[in-house]
Amino acid sequence: MNTGSISAYGEERNRLIVVAVGGNALLTERQRGTFEEQMENVEYCATELCKIIQEGYQMVLTHGNGPQIGLIMLRDSFSRIVRPVMPLYVYSAESQGQIGFLLMRSLCNHVALAGIQPRITTILTQVIVRKDDPAFSKPTKPVGPFYTLEEMEELQKISPFPFVEDSGRGYRKAVCSPEPVAIVESSFIKGLTSLGLSIIAGGGGGIPLVRNDDGTLSGCEAVIDKDLTSALLATEIGASTLVILTGVERVAIHFNTPRQQWLDTVSLEQMKQYYREGHFAEGSMGPKVLAAMRFVEKSGGRAIITRLEKVVDALRGETGTILVP
């Protein structure tokens, strides 16, 4: 890997970056989701993310919300007799506020302890999707808690959405996952970054909305891919770099085979070829690589896929999979 050229490339561009962290980084599958567990995970994330600000980058932070949405839906399924069930897009807003607050408070504390004035805020983010998106006819995205066959059959009587078997762990509600086409608050976010603020936004892919014929907006029962929203947001606010954090240091082709090869610096055209060849699974690395490619193609910037602990090294061009024009 030619780290010198990547470092020079990064220095030539602005220091505004979008960093996407997954929901599982804030709450793992093996945890119950107590406040103490979530705060321990948030504190660990904030410790690493603070290093980005210390490096002189201005950060817009996006995050997943899958495990948290699952807990909210589980809570309401148990209490539905006394507590009205809310639409899924309201749960998205609820989780954005909860996770955004925890990350904001923790990041502000870590930045202050590092001797930097905290200039961080959270914005609830609405994301527009098309009413005619083909995804609305194919609910395929599993959300919420896992149910046994008996529980699923009972819930199916009152749910307008189908349930699907998920990885041998039980049944989950399946909803639509349309493409993000516009972010309502992108101009506000860009304006705040021009004042020197770091922003937490786009949580869980954003609150999904459709635009009506009269120009008004309505919520819809859907889940938007967090990394695709992050790529769109990074493009709309003029970020120089999109960083997608995952569980591995670099992306691989021929993954988990004798021919496995880790990718360092890759051109957009080469990554497109790998993507067409089917190297990246739809349920794991596929959406991350797709989001990275979209950002690089539309913005001319660079995209990095790496793990949280290596993010500063990756920004320096020393590790990670770095996608360039």
**Residue matched to tokens 């954003």:** 206
Answer whether 137's CB lies under 8 Å from 162's CB. Answer: no
What is the C-alpha to C-alpha distance for residues 290 and 231, in angstroms, rounded to an integer? 9
What is the C-alpha to C-alpha distance for residues 202 and 92, in angstroms, rounded to an integer? 10
Contacts of 52 by beta carbon, 8 Å cutoff, 6+ apart:
17, 19, 59, 311, 312, 315
Give alpha helix (H) positions in the chain: 3-12, 35-54, 66-78, 88-113, 149-156, 186-194, 226-236, 268-276, 286-299, 311-315
Backbone angles phi, psi at 80, to 5 degrees: -65, -20
What is the C-alpha to C-alpha distance for residues 301 and 234, in angstroms, rounded to an integer? 10
Contacts of 11 by beta carbon, 8 Å cutoff, 6+ apart:
none
E-assigned strand segments in 117-216 = 120-122, 126-129, 141-147, 163-165, 171-175, 182-183, 198-200, 207-211
**Which residues does the annotation mark as catalytic?**
23-24, 141, 226, 288
Answer whether 209's CB lies under 8 Å from 217's CB. Answer: yes
